[in-house]
Structure 1
Amino acid sequence: MLTRVRRQLETAYERHLRRTISGAPTHVAVIQDGNRRYATKQGGEASDGHREGAETTERVLDWCEDIGVEELTLYAFSTENFERPEHEREALFDLLENKLYEFADAERVHDSGVCIRAIGDVAELPARVRKAVDYAEGQTRDYDNFVLNIALAYGGRNELLGAARDVAHEVESGDLSPTDISVETIESRLYDRPLRDVDLIIRTGGDERTSNFLPWHANGNEAAVFFCTPYWPEFSKIDFLRAVRTYESREQSFHQAKVQRAVALVRAIGGVELDEARSIIRKFKEYVPDGVSMDELESEERTTD
């Protein structure tokens, strides 16, 4: 009886959350933490937790598609994971290999146009995993409806260090001028194909840190971050929707802050004519969020007087 009531409440809350969400982040990045702790809690082996976590990953793909997320990056295997016991590493490699082949051949992946890509120092992985990566990327290379990035042998500092070294070598050889170094210069050295800026990072398992994950694309974009206590195998659609709601609330807050800055700018130019004010606002358009008109600024100014 209690279980049924709980399910009914969860279903009602999930519907409520879905109604309160009006949009979706374009790029979500997930730190899938807690697989081993979940397995311990259940009295099983670490590999059991990783297998159940892989099932959660498949559900998250469905949830992303449902609300309109266009890119998902999963932190599947970090450079620190190489320090785990050999039997645990091998079990993880087996799971990654099997899932890469499974995803690459899945009808849902091809029907939905999912492009699978690996990021990280893939060359450090065992040959069988690299072969599975090549297969998955080759099978889905031409798709662009949805991008699934799988971070393997990944470390954010190593990634930035490698890009910096590449740029330094090009400057030293005379192929690149220091004055020509731009954001695009660094991004082109990070990946063969560009990643979108990260809008939302989700971390499960209770730890409140981002673990050096996608520092260029997340920190540079000031991504929203959602920490939650469920272990990755326990991560539910309610948790996912709460994360998206956190992102939306943050975006609305940023929008309001930008409007307030624009209002302050209008007030600062006080007595000038409206046409001149418009001209000045255009010169400082970075202070005004997209889609905000002079009428909205004037309305906001009146309501805050």
Structure 2
Amino acid sequence: MKRWLRERVDAAYERLLSREISGAPTHVAVIQDGNRRYARSNGDDAPEGHREGAKTTERVLEWCQDIGVEELTLYTFSTENFNRPDEQNEALFDLLCEKLHEFADADRVHENEVCIRAIGETELLPDRVQHAIEYAERRTQEYDQFVLNIALAYGGRSRLLEAARGVAEDVEQGDLDPAEIDVEDIERRLYDRPIRDVDLIIRPAGEERTSNFLPWHANGNEAAVFFCTPYWPEFSKTDFLRGIRTYEHRAESWRRNRARRALALLGAVSDAELAEAKSVVERFRDSLPTAEQPDPEELETIQNEQGDGIDSSSRAAD
């Protein structure tokens, strides 16, 4: 009876969350944590936990496509994971090979035009895993409707270090002017193909840290972060939707703060800046609490007064 009631409550909560969500992040990144702990809690070995976690991964891929996410990155195997016992890693490598081939041949992947890519130091992985990666990437390389990045042998700081070394070598050889180094120079060296900025990081299993995951694309974009307690194999659609809601709240907060700053500056900026500030206020006006929303006449008055002030000071200077 309790289980039946719990399922009814969860279903109702899921419907409520679905109605509350009005948009979706473009790029979601997931740290698939808790597989081994899940297995231990059920009296199983680590490989069984990873296999159950793979089922969750398939569901999350479907949920992302359902709500309009365009890119999903999965933190599957870090460089630190090489330190785990060989028998655990070998079982995981076998599962990766199986799932990469399965995904590459799945009808839903081709129907939804999912492009599968591996990011990380994949040359460190066993040959059989590298061959499976090549197969999945080759089978889906022409697709662009949805991107699935699988982070394997991945370490965020090591990627940044390699990019910095590449920049230093080009500068030393005279191929790059230090004064002309920009964001694109770094991004070109991080991965073979571009990755969108991360909008939301999800981490289950109770850990509240991002573990060196996509630091350039997540921290630079001030990505929202959602931590939750279920182990990855237990991660539900309700948990997923709560994560999306966290992103929406962060995005709404950003719009509200942007509007407030622009409104505060309206009376103390130049003519060109005034037009930009007014545009920001008008775009994000509805994100402000009702009491803080300026009416159009107020905006027009501020602009006219500022314009008169600029004109008079200009004439005085002349």
Change over 3 Å in CA distance of 1:222–1:301 after alignment to 2? farther
Q: How does 1:27-38 map to 2 (within 5 A)?
A: 27-38=27-38
Letter in 2 for 1:175: D
2 CA distance for matches of 1:215 and 1:168? 20
What do residues 44-89 of structure 1 show as CA deviations (whole Å, max 9, x unaligned)? 0000000000000000001001100000000000001000000001
The answer to whether structure 1 residue 280 and structure 2 residue 273 are counterparts is yes
The secondary structure found in structure 1 opposite 2:283 is coil
The secondary structure found in structure 2 opposite 1:76 is strand
The secondary structure found in structure 2 opposite 1:288 is helix
What do residues 168-214 of structure 1 show as CA deviations (whole Å, max 9, x unaligned)? 11111111111121000100111111000000000011010000000
1:273 paired residue number: none
2 CA distance for matches of 1:140 and 1:283? 43
The answer to whether structure 1 residue 299 and structure 2 residue 291 are counterparts is no
Q: TM-score, normalised by structure 1?
A: 0.92
> Shift of the alpha carbon at 1:283?
5.4
> Shift of the alpha carbon at 1:284?
5.9
Q: Are the aligned partners of 1:255 and 1:289 in contact in 2 as well (CA < 8 Å)?
A: no
The secondary structure found in structure 1 opposite 2:18 is helix
Q: TM-score, normalised by structure 2?
A: 0.88
2:235 paired residue number: 235
Q: How does 1:131-280 map to 2 (within 5 A)?
A: 131-268=131-268, 279-280=272-273
The secondary structure found in structure 2 opposite 1:291 is helix
> Shift of the alpha carbon at 1:291?
3.2
Q: Are the aligned partners of 1:197 and 1:221 in contact in 2 as well (CA < 8 Å)?
A: yes
Higher alpha-carbon Rg:
2
> Shift of the alpha carbon at 1:298?
3.6
Change over 3 Å in CA distance of 1:301–1:80 after alignment to 2? farther
Q: Which runs of 5+ in 1 are unaligned?
A: 270-275
Q: Which runs of 5+ in 2 are unaligned?
A: 300-318
1 CA distance for matches of 2:207 and 2:95? 24
**Residue correspondences, number:** 293
Change over 3 Å in CA distance of 1:64–1:10 after alignment to 2? same
2 CA distance for matches of 1:71 and 1:292? 26
1:56 paired residue number: 56
Change over 3 Å in CA distance of 1:79–1:146 after alignment to 2? same
2 CA distance for matches of 1:235 and 1:68? 20
Q: CA RMSD in A?
A: 2.0
Q: Are the aligned partners of 1:118 and 1:149 in contact in 2 as well (CA < 8 Å)?
A: yes
Task: Detail structure 1 runs of 4+ shifted over 2 Å in the superposition.
Answer: 279-285, 287-293, 296-303
1 CA distance for matches of 2:210 and 2:281? 28
2 CA distance for matches of 1:170 and 1:301? 56
Q: Are the aligned partners of 1:198 and 1:223 in contact in 2 as well (CA < 8 Å)?
A: yes
Q: Are the aligned partners of 1:263 and 1:301 in contact in 2 as well (CA < 8 Å)?
A: no
1 CA distance for matches of 2:105 and 2:218? 30
Q: Identity rate of aligned residues, in percent?
A: 65
2 CA distance for matches of 1:15 and 1:268? 47
Change over 3 Å in CA distance of 1:262–1:106 after alignment to 2? same
Q: Are the aligned partners of 2:266 and 2:277 in contact in 1 as well (CA < 8 Å)?
A: no
Change over 3 Å in CA distance of 1:58–1:292 after alignment to 2? same
The secondary structure found in structure 1 opposite 2:222 is coil
1:70 paired residue number: 70
